[in-house]
Amino acid sequence: MSAEIRVLLVDDDALVRSGLRLMLGGAPDIEVVGEAADGSEVLPLVAQCAPDVVLMDIRMPTLDGLAATEQLRARPDAPEVLVLTTFHTDEHVLRALRAGAAGFVLKHTPPPEIVAAVRRVAAGEPVLSPAVTRQLMAQVAGGGARPRAAEAQARLAALADREREVAVAVGRGRSNAEIAAELFMSVPTVKTNVSRILAKLGLNNRVQIALLVHDAEELG
Amino acid sequence: MSAEIRVLLVDDDALVRSGLRLMLGGAPDIEVVGEAADGSEVLPLVAQCAPDVVLMDIRMPTLDGLAATEQLRARPDAPEVLVLTTFHTDEHVLRALRAGAAGFVLKHTPPPEIVAAVRRVAAGEPVLSPAVTRQLMAQVAGGGARPRAAEAQARLAALADREREVAVAVGRGRSNAEIAAELFMSVPTVKTNVSRILAKLGLNNRVQIALLVHDAEELG
DNA sequence: CGCACTCCGCTACTTAGGTCACCGCCCCCG
DNA sequence: CGGGGGCGGTGACCTAAGTAGCGGAGTGCG
């Protein structure tokens, strides 16, 4: 934990880069080991400079920061990526996190906090600006999927073993004939099972079974 | 922004409460205006003390902190809730955020940060412990639903307007007759539409349409 | 033992789903 | 202007899905 934190700056604006360089230069434990003005330069530069943290802008000419992050994080022992940008649409945030960014900080954040963010990311901690945190919270809170999923699982639990197998197959979009083959029973038997499932769950047709199964499987 | 921050402590452990009281008492801008040992005491106490922030434990005897938060946040101009707990399963975190908690902080957090968290929550900022942030990030990033959803939407875009309407109805589990009624067309027409959809999307039966539509709708 | 019950399977029948062939419409392009 | 080509609609036809009813195997219980 005593070595310096090696940082690579990626931003198409030279002014922003020099500003960051200044801001980070003030910290004795941080060293800026390189700069890139476009996402396409990132991969080679990372190989060359071996940074611990990449400070990544999103909006850049040929290859944007999100794509660059995706490429970067796809390879083994990649450095941590701290996205630093002005834009934070849901799209951007989600893609960044999905790509494996360790943090997402807005540019208008006061300098000392940006420095702190770099340190935290280097230490393996996640860092999000409050506005981004709020988005994330809204995202998971809003996605009312969970209660549905839980309830769906509960309802499916009421089925007999064989019935559940059939239900799952229906949920995969299989026809009765396919299910019969898969589960080694006759087509008529599949039908009876489907009927029983419908009755037990109070549904009208196999599509509703499929949707229910699908819900139940959402995030197991 | 100059008034004191009025805080209500909710924790079944008297020791924890006195610890928090001590910790928050040190801050000149914070005043502890009440304590509760169980979720069931929260609502009346809030009415009485009018706190700005409720520091809420989860695990409590009769009514747990999550349920209490749900009740509390359901009413108008409720105070902000900062969940302060040792446990942070996905379940807990999600329920808390869904219930409208403004923050989720772990008890092993160093005291100064807890104090800071109270201030931020009072100011309307969200606050999450790093571990919780990480969970949230994993949640949204991991929910590999997105690529599927995006692709599903793309495929659905290939359909004509009327066809898409039918597809959506199929996705709701409707029968052809129901769809006909809803969309003011004859049953045969619904069927042709379904057929056309199947052909365009390369599917075999309506269940698969339903699943595709369902996927496409996942987090719009 | 005999009873009730649930699970699992089958047959025989009805209804909903899906395919085909065809039509009118509108718009765009040669 | 005249003919594709996508779109929206219909009816006849066939196959798959769903219903009703029955029987046997296993379980649990008085």
Strand C contacted by B192 CB (< 7 A): yes
Please state the rounded mean pLDDT for residues A154-162.
Answer: 87
The whole-angstrom separation of Cα B82 and Cα B59 is 14
Q: Is B116 on the interface with A (CB under 8 A)?
A: no
Decide: B145 and A149 in contact? Cβ < 8 Å.
no
Q: How many CB atoms lie within 10 A of CB A48?
A: 11
Q: Report the pLDDT value the prediction gives residue A153, as an integer from 0 to 100.
A: 84
CB contact under 8 A, A173 and B204: yes
Spatial CA neighbour of B83 closest among B45, B41, B126: B126
The whole-angstrom separation of Cα A174 and Cα B117 is 52
Spatial CA neighbour of B25 closest among B125, B118, B109: B118
Residue A219 has pLDDT above 70, yes or no: no
Q: Report the pLDDT value the prediction gives residue B142, as an integer from 0 to 100.
A: 66
Q: Is B177 on the interface with A (CB under 8 A)?
A: no
Tokens 């004509």 found at:
B160
B207: nearest CB among A126, A144, A206: A206
Strand D contacted by B205 CB (< 7 A): yes
Strand D contacted by A195 CB (< 7 A): yes
Q: Is B75 on the interface with A (CB under 8 A)?
A: no
- pTM for the model: 0.66
Please state the rounded mean pLDDT for residues A82-97.
Answer: 87
Please state the rounded mean pLDDT for residues A161-166.
Answer: 91
Angle, helices B130-142 vs B90-99, to 10°: value is: 90
Average pLDDT, chain A: 90
Instruction: Tell which of B73, B82, B90, B140 to mutate to test the A interface (max A CBs under 10 Å).
Output: B140
Strand C contacted by B186 CB (< 7 A): no
**pLDDT of B59-81, one tens digit each?**
998 899 999 999 999 888 899 99
Which residue is closest to B124 within chain A, CA to CA? A130
Q: Report the pLDDT value the prediction gives residue B98, as an integer from 0 to 100.
A: 85
Q: Report the pLDDT value the prediction gives residue B146, as an integer from 0 to 100.
A: 61
In the structure encoding, which two tokens stand for residue B133, read together? 């942030």
Q: Is B2 on the interface with A (CB under 8 A)?
A: no
**pLDDT of A93-145, one tens digit each?**
888 988 899 999 999 999 999 999 999 999 999 999 999 999 888 877 765 55
